[in-house]
């Protein structure tokens, strides 16, 4: 690993030095070009393409290389880049391992990883080993060991590994975080979050469109159904904890003065996916025989060092309206998203009675949102994608630690394997590793700081 | 115990036989009188007085004896009885143990127990041992052993022990139960309940009024503050699980085709009660030094034999609007009380979008509520008290097992000590006893059956 790094440093140094005699700096790199961040994309499916599109809005970021095993997805991405007037990137699409060639051969500052979950970890590791900062889609890794591997590799290489948890930037979530930091909720006692999203039309489709229209998945599926559904066959646990836990991590200062200690996890029976296949594909469809391991509703409770508890819900296989299950509660009051309400002692006009969250969310709108509201508009997922990408790019540009760093990537992601372990052990309490190795005591919260681009 | 029963039987038999020669049956018992149910009251505090008041509406029920250590409470109860034209009952108020004299000496069919929590178990046991059916306020017992003791004593004596869980009869809860039984939610997967009620003004008062006005409790407190607050000093767990769990027990057919298997419990830091004392009594008030053991928010998760999970929340020490946290979720849809909403696949007009619960609660209003709506009005707690008392009286009158029986009393109440145990053991998974000793497999749901008075 050190050898590779040295080789890369050598390449970089010798490239600049060796050509300097032959070319003017301008022909090698324009002064803009030399300052430009070189961001590669591994995984250019629908999510990757969207993030490529958003990245093209940053003139200071170039996209010299992209990687995907699917030629159609590559073609769509090239169209996006062409349409925005960008140079054609080098393409790596020669099988599953071609990303290794990309991170070895390309002189990248960073990569954005938007591949199936199981690839995030090896791709992040390989990138960091090659001196490249990483932004990875959630979750960052699927096993406890792989979470440690991310941390260890980041520490050894000095490369960042930001988990691109966009929900941390949701407008209401940031307003509530703002209120928490101003002390409006008093001392925080309890938080809730989760991923409650009927994904049946994502886990199954007709192989032609990303959402619904059939009960196919895997080889015969399209987009996420190609790989995501298999996790419900192989694993029983909270498969997707980060959207709920990420924002609550900031509320609770996890890894920054507080940390998670242990959890238990419970699974219900697994019914929804089989029912969906039978209801929509008939009892004779071959997929109707599949045994899904993942319980339909997973409830995980986490105990924090400073005393607080967190309840996470994972609920994706049955009919239900979308909800990330947010609740923030302290000694002075409570915010509960499902009824869009807040109650704060001394502020709420009527004792024991909810009031609408609206005026609070407006009054305590986070400065970042106030500042970048117009830029965030239309940038995906209600503007969250703008902010998460902006923090990633800023971190590379300013050589600063990203506000959601490798310790967060590990501790948000590790909930999945630990949830699986707890369920396997009859909902036993399972210890949550301290990936900071004690540094959580002195680390300060940085999320939500305004940095200029 | 058998000896005592025999003695009672002897007394009853000999009393009737011995006096028959001297009096006409009519002078001994009028024909109405002989059919009247004799219901004694142990505990005539505010709750007991209310239930006495409701009982006076039943001409077929007499109240020959009442018991309380507090002479003022006895006086208030006598006034209630007099006002309703009832005979003056015999009074037992000679110290903590006088209830034993009452259940030994009085020829009662049943007692209603509305005393501090710690007295429910010994009073229920003593009553059953003396051939008297029991209706007890929640919880029925505070330890695992005492829960077993209730079951064993009920089985040995043939006396019923109904836990007076009035929330089982809440109108929305019974409408949803009706929907569950009609299959509208499909197979049930997950339920939530709890007791989320800011009780600070109940746990503390000025010693003169039941609610608020000071930060006194125990000797210096009034009504519930006299005894309830101490539990928050001595115990760390879900102190009050039955209001949330009772209704969900019916939804899940617990003890009737299903049962609870194990639980874990988590506690947050304990802050709210100390803060309340300091905020309202000042930092120098002697109570400000008290160390409360009970975490402010307790989260308990339960796994059921048939696969479902239940999440219970206990949250009484901080400012928050009242909520019993109900959620019922199955393979076809979900009811969630906090946003007063329902979503049912195929029925709700818009996919993934909540609709108001209102029209469903109206359409599926439980037959019991339809029938007794006018009688239930004004009977306390939104009519619930009417129904719980009615089922208790019916059970005695008709010599039928009450719909919330001793197994329910034990399994609803045992959550508290098991929650304490789990928290003590670092949120370890704790087995929940099967109080039915296997009979849950064949028992059928009876709750909500219409019985004529």
**CA A155 vs CA A398, A437, B261, B370: distances in Å:** 19, 12, 44, 68
B375 or A161, which is more confident: A161
User: Does the distance separating the beta carbons of A331 and B189 come in below 8 Å?
Assistant: no
User: Does the distance separating the beta carbons of A318 and B329 come in below 8 Å?
Assistant: yes
CA distance A354 to A336: 10
- H or E element at residue A254: none
CATH number of the domain enclosing B83? 3.40.50.720
Residues 276-305 of B with CB under 8 A from A: 295-297, 299, 301, 303
Question: Please, which residues have CB within 8 angstroms of residue A240's CB and are 6 or more apart in sequence?
Answer: A138, A139, A195, A314, A316, A416
B425 located within any domain: yes
Nearest CA-CA partner of A298 in A193, A172, A443, A219:
A193
- Does B52 score more than 80 pLDDT? yes
Q: Which of A8-22, A36-50, B347-361 has the lowest mean pLDDT?
A: A8-22
DSSP character at residue A46: H
CATH number of the domain enclosing B411? 3.30.360.10
- Same domain as B179, residue B122: no
Residue whose structure tokens are 């009615």? B390
- Same domain as B193, residue B130: no
CA distance A301 to B299: 8
Structural domain boundaries enclosing B219: 168-369+403-441
- Does A146 score more than 90 pLDDT? yes
Confidence of residue A380 (pLDDT cuts 50, 70, 90): confident
- Does B38 score more than 90 pLDDT? yes
- Same domain as B175, residue B231: yes
> Could you tell me if B336 lies within 8 Å of chain A, comparing CB atoms?
yes
Nearest CA-CA partner of A311 in A324, A302, A298:
A302
- Same domain as B145, residue B187: no
- Same domain as B176, residue B123: no
- Same domain as A97, residue A194: no
A11 located within any domain: no
> Could you tell me if A332 lies within 8 Å of chain B, comparing CB atoms?
yes
pLDDT at B292: 98
pLDDT at B13: 39
Mean pLDDT of chain A: 92
User: Does the distance separating the beta carbons of A331 and B321 come in below 8 Å?
Assistant: no
- Three-class SS state of A340: coil
> Could you tell me if B16 lies within 8 Å of chain A, comparing CB atoms?
no
- Does B2 score more than 90 pLDDT? no
Residue range B339-365: average pLDDT?
97
pLDDT at A28: 43
pLDDT at B406: 98
User: Does the distance separating the beta carbons of B275 and A331 come in below 8 Å?
Assistant: yes
A316 located within any domain: yes
**CA A383 vs CA B39, B167, B388: distances in Å:** 65, 43, 52
Question: Please, which residues have CB within 8 angstroms of residue A244's CB and are 6 or more apart in sequence?
Answer: A167, A192, A193, A194, A195, A312, A313, A324, A325, A326
pLDDT at B380: 73
CA distance B143 to A385: 52
**Strands B90-92 and B65-67, how do they pair?**
parallel
**CA B398 vs CA B31, B47, B375, B392: distances in Å:** 17, 26, 20, 10
> Could you tell me if B272 lies within 8 Å of chain A, comparing CB atoms?
yes
- CA of A356: which chain B residue's CA is closest? B339
User: Considering chain A, what percentage of its residues have pLDDT values greater than 70?
Assistant: 92
Distance from CA of B324 to the nearest CA of A (A): 13
Q: Which two tokens stand for residue B367?
A: 């037959």
Q: Distance between the two ends of chain B, CA-based, in angstroms?
A: 32
- Same domain as B38, residue B118: yes
- Does B6 score more than 70 pLDDT? no
- Same domain as B291, residue B143: no
Residue range B74-84: average pLDDT?
98
Mean pLDDT of chain B: 92
**CA B453 vs CA A243, B150, B387, B391, B450: distances in Å:** 54, 27, 11, 9, 9
pLDDT at A192: 98
- Same domain as A333, residue A198: yes
Interface predicted TM-score (ipTM): 0.92
- Does A164 score more than 80 pLDDT? yes
A446 located within any domain: no
CB atoms within 10 A of CB A33: 12
CA distance A334 to A319: 28
- Three-class SS state of A327: strand
Buried b vs exposed e over A272-286: b needs ≥16 C-beta within 10 Å? bbbbbbeebbeeeee
User: Does the distance separating the beta carbons of B344 and A269 come in below 8 Å?
Assistant: no
Question: Please, which residues have CB within 8 angstroms of residue A295's CB and are 6 or more apart in sequence?
Answer: A236, A266, A267, A268, A269, A270, A423, B307
Confidence of residue A381 (pLDDT cuts 50, 70, 90): confident
A386 located within any domain: no
Q: Of B139, B165, B191, which residue constitutes the final position of a domain?
A: B165
Residue range A222-245: average pLDDT?
97
A19 located within any domain: no
- Does A32 score more than 80 pLDDT? no
> Could you tell me if A5 lies within 8 Å of chain B, comparing CB atoms?
no
Judge contact between A272 and A297, C-beta under 8 A.
no
- CA of A300: which chain B residue's CA is closest? B301
- Which residues of chain A lie closer than 8 angstroms to B293, CB-CB? none
- Same domain as B292, residue B178: yes
B200, B301, B319: best to mutate for the A interface, most A CBs within 10 A: B319
Nearest CA-CA partner of A126 in A161, A77, A74:
A161
Distance from CA of A118 to the nearest CA of B (A): 29
pLDDT digits (tens, 9 = 90+) for B382-421: 799 999 999 999 999 999 999 999 999 999 999 999 999 9
B381 located within any domain: no
Q: Of A131, A165, A199, which residue constitutes the final position of a domain?
A: A165
pLDDT at A382: 79
Angle between helices A46-55 and A384-397 (to 10 degrees): 60
CA distance A430 to A265: 9
Q: Looking at the 3D structure of chain B, how many domains does it have?
A: 2
pLDDT at A449: 77
B184, B202, B261, B264: best to mutate for the A interface, most A CBs within 10 A: B264
The angle formed by the CA atoms of residues A402, A404 and A409, to the nearest 5 degrees, is 120
> Could you tell me if A338 lies within 8 Å of chain B, comparing CB atoms?
yes
Confidence of residue B350 (pLDDT cuts 50, 70, 90): very high
pLDDT digits (tens, 9 = 90+) for B274-328: 999 999 999 999 999 999 999 999 999 999 999 999 999 999 999 999 999 999 9
Residue range B13-29: average pLDDT?
40
- Same domain as A344, residue A272: yes
Q: Of B130, B150, B165, which residue constitutes the final position of a domain?
A: B165
B5 located within any domain: no
Distance from CA of A319 to the nearest CA of B (A): 6
Question: Please, which residues have CB within 8 angstroms of residue A440's CB and are 6 or more apart in sequence?
Answer: A254, A255, A256, A257, A258, A259, A305, A407, A434
Q: Is B26 exposed, middle or buried (0-12, 13-18, 19+ CB in 10 A)?
A: exposed
- Same domain as A88, residue A235: no
pLDDT at B379: 78
Confidence of residue A451 (pLDDT cuts 50, 70, 90): low
Residue range A352-360: average pLDDT?
98
């Amino acid at each position: 690993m050190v050898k590779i790094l040295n080789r890369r440093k050598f390449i970089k140094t010798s490239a600049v030095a060796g050509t300097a005699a032959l070319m003017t700096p301008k022909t090698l790199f324009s002064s803009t070009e030399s300052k430009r961040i070189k961001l590669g994309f591994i995984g250019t499916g629908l999510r990757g393409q969207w993030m490529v599109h958003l990245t093209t809005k940053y003139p200071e970021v170039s996209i010299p290389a992209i990687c995907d095993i699917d030629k159609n997805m590559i073609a769509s991405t090239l169209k996006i880049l062409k349409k925005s007037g960008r140079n054609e990137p080098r393409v790596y699409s020669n099988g599953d391992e071609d990303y290794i060639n990309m991170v070895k051969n390309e002189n990248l500052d960073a990569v954005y990883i938007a591949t199936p979950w199981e690839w995030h970890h090896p791709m992040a590791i390989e990138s960091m080993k090659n001196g490249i900062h990483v932004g990875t889609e959630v979750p960052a890794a699927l096993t406890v060991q792989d979470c440690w591997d991310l941390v260890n590799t980041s520490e050894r290489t000095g490369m960042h590994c930001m988990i691109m948890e966009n929900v941390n930037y949701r407008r209401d979530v940031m307003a509530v975080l703002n209120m928490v930091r101003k002390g409006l909720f008093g001392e925080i006692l309890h938080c809730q979050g989760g991923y409650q999203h009927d994904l049946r039309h994502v886990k199954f489709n007709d192989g032609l469109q990303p959402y619904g229209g059939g009960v196919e998945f895997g080889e015969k599926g399209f987009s996420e159904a190609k790989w995501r559904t298999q996790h419900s066959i192989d694993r029983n646990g909270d498969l997707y904890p980060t959207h709920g836990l990420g924002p609550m991590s900031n509320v609770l200062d996890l890894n920054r003065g507080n940390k998670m200690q242990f959890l238990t996890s419970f699974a219900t029976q697994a019914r929804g996916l089989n029912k969906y296949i039978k209801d929509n594909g008939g009892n004779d469809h071959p997929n109707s025989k599949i045994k899904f391991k993942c319980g339909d509703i997973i409830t995980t409770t986490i105990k924090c060092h400073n005393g607080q508890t967190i309840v996470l819900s994972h609920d994706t296989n049955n009919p239900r309206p979308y909800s990330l299950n947010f609740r923030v509660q302290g000694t002075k009051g409570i915010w509960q998203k499902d009824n869009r309400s807040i109650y704060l002692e001394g502020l709420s006009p009527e004792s024991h009675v909810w009031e609408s969250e609206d005026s609070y969310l407006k009054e305590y709108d986070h400065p970042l949102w106030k500042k970048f509201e117009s830029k965030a508009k239309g940038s995906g997922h209600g503007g969250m994608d703008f902010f998460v990408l902006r923090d990633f790019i800023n971190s590379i540009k300013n050589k600063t630690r990203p506000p959601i760093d490798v310790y967060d990537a590990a501790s948000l992601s590790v909930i999945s394997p630990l949830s699986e372990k707890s369920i396997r052990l009859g909902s036993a309490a399972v210890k949550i590793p301290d990936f900071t190795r004690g540094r959580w005591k002195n680390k300060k919260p940085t999320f939500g700081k305004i940095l200029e681009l």
